[in-house]
Amino acid sequence: MLAKFNDLKAFFWRVTEKRSPRAQQVTLAHRSIYVLPSKAGLGFALVAVLLWLLGTNYENNLILGVSFLLFALFLVSVLHAYRNLAGVRLRALSAPPGFAGEHIELPVELSSASGGVHLQLQYLDAVALRCDLDKHRPHTLKIPLFAERRGWLTPGRLLVKSYYPLGITRVWSWVFLNTQVLIYPQPKAAVLQQPAYKGDSGESGDRVRADDDFMGFSRYQAGAPLSQIAWKLYARGAGLQLKEFGAEQRQGVWLDFAALSGTVEERLSGLCYLALHWQTKGRDFGLRMPGVLIEPGSGDSHLHEVLKALALFEGGVDRGQDR
Amino acid sequence: MAKTDSVIAGQTLKHLLVAQALVLAPLVFHIPYWLSGLAIAVIIWRWVLHRGRGFYPGKVSRTVLALAVTALLLLSFSGRFGMETMISLLAAGFVLKLTELRTRSHVYLLCFLAYFVIGTQLLFYNQLVGMLYSLVCFAAVTATLLVNQVAKAEQDGFQPWPRLMAMLLQAIPIMLVLFLAVPRIGSLWTVPLNNGSGVTGLSDSMSPGDMANLMQSNEVAFRASFRGALPPPQQRYWRALVFDLFDGRRWSQGQLHDVASGRSSIWNEAKGQLERLGDSIEYDIMLEPSSKNWLYGLALADPLAEDIYMSRGFTLFQRRPVSQRKQYTLVSFLQYRAQPDSLSDRERRSALQLPDEGNEQTRSRARQWAAEEPDVQALVDRFLAFVRSRFHYTLQPAVLGQESVDEFLFTTQAGFCEHFAGSFVFFMRAAGVPARVVVGYQGGEVNPHEGYLTVRQLDAHAWAEVWIEGLGWQRIDPTAAVAPQRIDRGVEFSLDDSDAQLLGNAMGRRFALWANWQLQWDALNYRWHRWVMGYDADTQKQFLSKLLGGSASWRSVVAVIAALSLILLLIFVFLFFQRRPPVAVEIKMYQRVCAKLAAAGIPRYDGEGPRKYSERVSRLRPELAEDFTHLSTLIERIRFAGDRSILPEFQQAVRNFLRQLS
């Protein structure tokens, strides 16, 4: 039974998607605009019926007139509701990359040639964003998306809806914007299994940090890896202190896929963390992964290159969000 | 409605409160005064709250308030349950709902309630003005719904009126089609409108002074429009009730004539005994709500409608009180013989009834005259001659004591129609002639603009009927004997100045301009009621069959569907093919440049932005690069940054470029 229902649902969305094709820029037209009375619209109709009963019972033509005016307004409202959405253009603007497990914002530019448009944009079950469109003045809304996995995130259907003009009609359209957002792996603190460089940090023998020479101590900051905490100082009652390691630029660090343990995703998360770590430390770093080799370097574009390689490693291409 | 409901915007609230005040205002006279006060207080409080002072009441205090208001309402109406009780409850709910108004979705319920309250307004105010006012209310409520949908309302920056007016103007033709074509079904249930108490009009009994009180009201009782010529003024006797029971002071309806009682004895079994003579007069009467169940007809009238009945006293009545303005058609005969052959014993007894004692002087005089004048007609003439020679017509008669007929006939000799009619009937009965009092209206003012007669409360009148064998019931109006101008020209022309001051329209008829304006206004209202309010099932049937060439129901169904489709199509066309906005000057100039370049072999592609285009042009025609890039930068700044101050510079650049290109 449930399976049948799900089949039906899938079929419905296939048809819907066919009716509103994916594109970078979508103009809403009759093929993809749907109009139905809203919940409030049913209440409105009920008032009209009650007034009709009142007018009929007291044989009062004016009350009947009000009732008929409500019905007429309902019909007119449907046309105005349709006109409100028809011709609205949505264009996906490029979104900056984000990290898996975080909310990212997808900017969508809305515009209308006729103006006087009032609509709401909603993604999945998120809060609907309201906006008014004036003539020839594009309006950009930032839709919050949750990035579940690394890779290319293709947003699913966007719901463009409106209860304009009177709240008694619901006019809506599903829009599939042909855009993708690069999602980096979720950074997770990790240590390299093998030292990338020789250099004793004086820590417990088999777990050698991939860090550089010891430089001193600093106050503990939330989120710092446990291995960086000076446990000996802590034992002496000096509070949590972090061991600072040499920030001096000497040689590049290699982020090696093979030097981490765990599943592919865990390793990618670890590499992502380390890349960010070294970026903030200002150290050069390179990436070594099966089939990928990026020479050590620094700077934002280098970081992006590394993170992108991590994001897209082995089938990191997202097939889109769940419908 | 969004899943998470957002707080009501300030502009929406402003519209809502104004709409609510407008909607409730006309009900002030129909709901208890304390409830009106509460409504004003709550509306003001809600606005103050919006301005950041005060606090929302908790659930407990809201419940307590609601219970208190309900209890007070029950107390105010002390268990009576009518339309006004329901409307007060509705108004109370409408006002109290405001105390929990927080979010956008609450606005819907309040607006829908407001629409319903507008409907109830129209129960009480169904004149033209009432309709116009309710339209204003309707627009205000609809504006609230509209503002509620707009994000800008949070900054108070939305102008709802253009869109609202467009929608209303488009809705009105649809409404008219529905109004004309949707079938009218009769009443479904009865809830009395409680508003009977305030209505002035004839009552079901007559004691001295009642009629004079009525004279002080200028209110319209009914209007009559004749299909043919108007009857002459002295024939305009509008019959309403027959009073045959006298208790020494008060005349009222006996068992045979009490039309409100619903007894079977009031039904007219004597239809066969009614001879209609002369020409018939057909006319429509539009009766103002009287909260009484009797109706008015000229002289002796036959109803054409099925729900109007003729009583034993040849008056008209219906089963239910007239709570709404009522329109009906009658056929009258100015000459007739009513029950010419015989009276039943019961009828004769009731037409001769007198109190056991009192007014002995009148009784003995009546017996004396009856002996001297065996012919009934001669007796009547003698009485009228007596009245004509001695009596005086006034609205301010001396107060009469216990022996009211004696005092009036032999001492004060000044009075009003009820004195004349009552004394005459008493006298005739004492003389052994069956007689009764008839009340109704006499006269009516012709509206020169529409040609109908307006009969007002001050036209109330009482006259008498005597039964003469072979002739039946004959109308005798003793007032006409003493004040013939009362009958010919109306009550205001038959009184001296101090009396005329008492009339309801004392001012109205003295200033010609004012009077004329009143007549025009009345004519407009009359037309309104006749054609709009009076559009009932019968009129609808006639109108539709005339319009559609047949009365088959499929014709109206097809016509309605066709008309609605046409209107909706027109609206659709209007909405989607509005004149395109004028193209801005800079776009026109840029398009000219593009056309020139296209002619030179470098057309601009669809969707190619100015920058991309200029890059391509620069690549293909390096000699144009500098000027065209400059021009493209300018148009971009104008269009996308909205910097219109550089427009002259852009125009100059275009001219230069075109010159260079050619």
In a domain, B453, yes or no: yes
pLDDT band at A150 (very low <50, low <70, confident <90, very high): confident
B111 catalytic residue (yes or no): no
- Rounded to 10 degrees, what is the CA torsion of B199, B201, B206, B210? 80
Given this model, what pLDDT does residue A217 score? Answer: 63
DSSP code of B185? P
Q: What average pLDDT does range B73-81 have in this prediction?
A: 78
**pLDDT computed for residue B592 by the predictor:** 85
* pLDDT value at B51 more than 60: yes
pLDDT at A316: 55
B539 contact residues in A (CB cutoff 8 A): none
Average pLDDT over every residue of B610-629: 86
Residue tagged 């139905």 (tokens): A36
Question: Minimum mean pLDDT among B130-139, B259-268, B373-382, B527-536: which range?
Answer: B259-268
For residue B657, report the phi and psi dihedrals to the nearest 5 degrees: -65, -40
Mean pLDDT over B342-359 rounds to 86
B509 and B520 fall within a common domain:
no
Residue in the block written with tokens 């004519």: B523
Q: In what order do the strands lie in the sheet with B245-246?
A: B205-206, B251-252, B245-246
B624 shares a domain with B540: no
Dihedral angle sign, alpha carbons of residues B392, B393, B396, B402? positive
Interchain CB distance below 8 Å, A75 and B568:
yes
- Provide the pairing of β-strand A158-162 with A117-123: antiparallel
Mean pLDDT confidence for A50-73: 92
Mean of pLDDT values over B205-221:
79
Q: Are residues B524 and B435 in the same domain?
A: no
Average pLDDT over residues A186-204: 56
- What residues have CB less than 8 Å from B405, skipping those under 6 apart? B359, B362, B422, B423, B426, B427
For residue B429, the model assigns a pLDDT of 92
In a shared domain, residues B358 and B434: yes
Q: How confident is the model at residue A189 (pLDDT cuts 50, 70, 90)?
A: confident
Does ipTM surpass 0.90 in this model?
no
A126 in contact with B at a CB cutoff of 8 Å? no
pLDDT surpasses 80 at A125: no
Provide the pLDDT for residue A251.
Answer: 64
Domain boundary among B467, B498, B513: B513
A39 to chain B, any CB pair closer than 8 A? The answer is yes
Chain A hits for B150, Cβ within 8 Å? 118, 132, 164
Per-residue tokens: B359? 């007014």
A243 and A229 Cβ atoms separated by less than 8 Å: yes
Query: Residue A222: pLDDT band by 50, 70, 90 thresholds?
Result: low
Report the gap between the CA of B33 and the closest CA in chain A (Å): 25
Residue B196 lies in a domain: no
Q: What is the pLDDT of residues B409-438, one digit of tens each?
A: 888 888 888 889 999 999 999 988 999 999
The residue with tokens 């405001």 is B98
Same-domain check for residues B254 and B153: no
* Strand B414-415 to B297-298 pairing: unpaired
Q: Which of B344-358, B442-456, B594-608 has the lowest mean pLDDT?
A: B594-608
Domain membership flag for residue B5: no
> What is the Cα–Cα distance from B107 to A44, expressed in whole angstroms?
12
Q: Is the pLDDT of residue B1 over 60?
A: no
| Residue type, position B382, single letter | R
pLDDT over threshold 90, residue B134:
yes
Question: Is residue B76 in some structural domain?
Answer: yes
Q: What percent of chain B has pLDDT over 70?
A: 91
User: Which residue among B533, B548, B576 closes a domain?
Assistant: B576
Is A210 a residue whose pLDDT tops 50?
A: no
State the residue range of the domain holding B564: 516-576
CB contact under 8 A, B149 and A68: no
Nearest to B302 by CA among B326, B271, B273: B271
Q: Is residue B185 part of a domain?
A: no
Whether residue B192 is contained in a domain is answered as: no
A126: which chain B residues are within 8 Å (Cβ-Cβ)? Answer: none
Peptide bond into B397 cis (omega under 30): no
List the domain boundaries for chain A: 18-183, 247-312
B520 and B482 within one domain:
no
Q: How far apart are CA B502 and CA B329, in angstroms?
A: 34
Question: Do B178 and A72 count as a contact with CB atoms less than 8 A apart?
Answer: yes
Residue percentage of chain A with pLDDT more than 70: 78
Nearest C-alpha of chain B: how many angstroms from A165? 5
CB-nearest partner of A66 from B138, B145, B575: B138
> Cα dihedral sign for A54, A59, A63, A68?
positive
Residue B642 or B192, more confident: B642
Distance between CA atoms of residues B181 and B14, nearest Å: 38
**Three-state SS annotation for chain A:** CHHHHHHHHHHHHHHHHHHCCCECEEECCHHHCEEEECHHHHHHHHHHHHHHHHHHHCCCHHHHHHHHHHHHHHHHHHHHHHHHHCCEEEEECCCCCEECCCEEEEEEEEEECCCCEEEEEEECCCCCEEEEEECCECEEEEEEEECCCCEEECCCCEEEEECCCCCCEEEEEEECECCCEEEECCCCCCCCCCCCCCCCCCCCCCCCCCCCCEEEEEECCCCCCHHHECHHHHHCCCCCEEEEECCCCCCCEEEEHHHCCCCHHHHHHHHHHHHHHHHHHCCCEEEEECCEEEEEECCHHHHHHHHHHHHHCCCCCCCCCCC
Asked if A107 has any chain B CB less than 8 Å from its own CB, the reply is: no
Asked, for residue B184, whether it belongs to a domain, the answer is no
Known catalytic membership, residue B627: no
Closest-CA residue of chain B to A118: B150
Write the pLDDT tens digit of every residue in B544-589: 888 888 777 788 888 889 999 999 998 888 887 765 556 678 888 8
Q: Which residues of chain B neighbour A84 with C-beta distances below 8 Å?
A: none
Q: B354 and B335 in one domain?
A: yes
Q: Give CA–CA dist B243/B532, Å, rounded.
A: 36
Contact B171, B39 (CB under 8 A): no
State residue B169's pLDDT score: 94
Residues A76, B167: C-beta atoms closer than 8 Å: yes
Are B534 and B465 in a shared domain? no
Structure tokens at A26: 């979508």
Residue B447 has pLDDT above 70, yes or no: yes
A199 conformational bin, left if phi > 0, alpha if psi -120 to 50, beta if neither: left
Q: Residue B510 pLDDT more than 70? A: no
Tell whether B299 and B436 lie within a shared domain.
Answer: yes
B495 lies in the same domain as B456: yes
Active site residue B477: yes
Nearest by Cα to A241 from A254, A260, A255, A228: A228
The pLDDT of residue B391 is above 70:
yes
Q: Catalytic residue, from B15, B257, B461, B529: name it.
A: B461
Cβ contacts below 8 Å, chain A against chain B, sum to: 162
Q: Which of B417, B419, B459, B522 is an active site residue?
A: B417
Q: Which of B210, B477, B499, B522 is catalytic?
A: B477
Q: Which residue has the higher pLDDT, B583 or A37?
A: A37
Domain count, chain B: 4
- CB-nearest partner of A72 from B145, B171, B578: B171
The answer to whether residue B405 scores a pLDDT higher than 70 is: yes
Residue B152 falls inside a structural domain? yes
Q: In this structure, what token pair is assigned to residue B512?
A: 């010609």
Please give the biggest Cα pair distance in chain A. 99
B554, B576, B598: which is the final residue of a domain?
B576
Name residue B476's beta-bridge partners. B464
Sign of torsion over alpha carbons A146, A148, A153, A157: negative
> Hey, is the C-beta of A10 within 8 angstroms of any chain B C-beta?
no
Together in a domain, B219 and B104: no
How close A320 comes to chain B (CA, Å)?
A: 24
- The reply to whether A118 touches chain B by the CB within 8 Å rule is yes
**Residue B2: pLDDT over 80:** no
Q: Are residues B104 and B62 part of one domain?
A: yes
Query: Dihedrals φ, ψ of B312, to 5°?
Result: -60, -30
Q: Does the pLDDT value for residue B493 go beyond 50?
A: yes
**pLDDT for residue A197 is more than 60:** no
How many other C-beta atoms lie within 10 A of the C-beta of residue B654? 19
